[in-house]
Chain A
Amino acid sequence: MASGSALLAAGIWGWVADPLEFEFMQRALLAVALVGIVSAVVGAFVVVRGMAFIGDALAHASFAGVAGAFALGVSIYLGAIVAAVATALGIAFISQRARLRFDTAIGVLFVGAFALGIVIVSRQDNYTVDLFSFVFGNVLGVSWADLWLMAGLGAVVVALVAIFYKELLFVAYDPTVATAAGLPTRALEYGLLALVAVSTVVALQTVGIVLVIAMLVTPAATASLLVQRLHHVIFVAVGVALASAVVGLYVSYYAEVASGASIVLVATACFALALALAPRRGLLARWRTERALP
């Protein structure tokens, strides 16, 4: 019995430890953990503000920057960040000044930027797999240099959210009263969009343009089913994101499937579980409450 469980423990340990003998897997694990933390922190605001569409838009728009940087031979991250932040600020500017609906401004700008990216790519004779790893994500291709850059950007994003948490909370909940109280609402709105843009870029290489939105929205959406204060939503979302990232990466290693998609599927499974079983807002709890009515 004792030796049986020892054998089992050794087996599990081997299952966990074996992949980490490869340096690319160590880097991948750090990368997905980083992406999970940063995306979840910013994603909590994206979910409560109902701006899920914007993360998707910024990820697509950043493709123009990636393609442009590739064509010019400069850092792909630099290109992505410039394109994403410019699009974010453009969206905020258009919706505030032209008094268009937010989703209209997003719809116009992101497709425009994505199309620009495609035009740039189609002019390149020698585009390689590199570029397309940004579309579908390739966590195994993350270098130490990429990792340092992601860590630096992520630390700045998380620090800014921590420093301005009180203001971001007030503006997210009630922008009118926040403005009346003297908060710099417009600057905070632009700032939040810039944070979404940067965290999109941090996630880009790991999960790919198409799936970035899931890292922003799914963990925070799961958390908002489970807890009821914004800072709790952030902490639980980080937990869900970390768990999904690590489990998803292992699944992708053993099942030999795409890592980004595998991480997103684990997060989606967490969401489905919370939707069914959350203590108060879950479907089961609601069904029970309704059935208990006289």
Chain B
Amino acid sequence: MGTETERATDGRTAATPAVSVRDLWFGYDGSPVLESVTVDLPAGSLVGVAGPNGAGKTTLLKALLGLLRVWRGRIELFGERPDAVRDRVAYAPQVQTVDWEFPATVGDVAMMGRYGRLGLLRRPGAGDRDAVASALRQVGLEALVGRQIGELSGGQQRRMLIARALAQQADLLLLDEPMVGLDATTQHDLLDLFEQLRDAGKTLLVATHDLSCVAACFDLALLLNKRLVAVGPPSEVLTPAILQEAYAEHLLLLPTEGGVFVGHHGHG
């Protein structure tokens, strides 16, 4: 690795996976949440990360962000260590973890996407304002730049968090449960946005509970239940046998013509 020339690195870029995880272990207070996860995800793909509650979806995203001190294993993003490519990786947290009463406008929050690049002691300049304007235009929030964040609808909230990630000009977007609590139309709009971003060359990892959404719109499905249960095209991964393994007793599976009906037992 260390002896590679610049050219060799460049030549490798197209084939280098956006995410490469080897034997990743992590847990809280001694009990593992991620058990020996090994996976490669190609750049430019739209990946749905699914699994039951407590399966480690958010934990996996946080590990990729370099926020966790992992027990064991190796993470490479675009062929490099996570801290070396911090600017290229962005995270949109679950909406309920965000303080929507905070005194800030949509533009203020989107501008935060620039702060990592700016570094200490520097104020945002024209280039940063352009990046924010362009990010807001991409998610269709340009008219709401001065809106207080507490006045946004559910769909607009997700869009704003994604705009912050885009303002960072990241290539890998980690989105945590962006579809929860949205009505069908808004979900559909959001999925269109994901596809546009994927077509523009971004790699998206979307943690979600919504398997039918993954089946219909995503390039790859990653099924997680502490360990990696399966990864691949949704048509190959979302089969009754594999789902049964991932969800165990949490899932209700009904064979229907041409597929499987998937329902959740009880809540969420």
Contact = CB atoms under 8 A, between A and B. Distances in A.
Contacts of A183: 115-116
A48 B103 contact: yes
A181 B119 CA distance: 10
Contact of B116 (A169, A172, A181): A181
Interface residues of B, number: 31
B112 interface: yes
Given A166-B115, A173-B112, A228-B148, A180 B103 contact: no
Contacts of B112: 169-170, 173-174, 177-178, 181
A182 B104 contact: no
A4 to B, nearest CB: 46
Contact of A182 (B91, B116, B124): B116
Given A173-B99, A180-B65, A229 B115 contact: no
A contact face: mostly helix, strand, loop, or mixed = helix
Contacts, number: 73
Given A229-B104, A229-B105, A176 B115 contact: no
B66 A232 contact: no
Interface residues of A, number: 25
B103 A229 contact: yes
B241 to A, nearest CB: 36
B105 A180 contact: no
Given A229-B105, A232-B103, A176 B86 contact: no
Given A166-B123, A167-B120, A229-B105, A181 B86 contact: yes
Interface of B: 62, 65-67, 83, 86, 89-91, 93, 97-99, 102-105, 108-109, 112-113, 115-116, 118, 120-121, 123-124, 148, 164, 168
Interface of A: 48, 163-164, 166-167, 169-170, 172-174, 176-183, 224, 227-230, 232-233
Given A166-B115, A173-B99, A181-B116, 16 more contacts: A166-B124, A170-B112, A170-B115, A173-B102, A177-B91, A177-B93, A178-B115, A180-B67, A180-B90, A181-B113, A182-B116, A183-B115, A228-B148, A229-B103, A229-B105, A230-B108
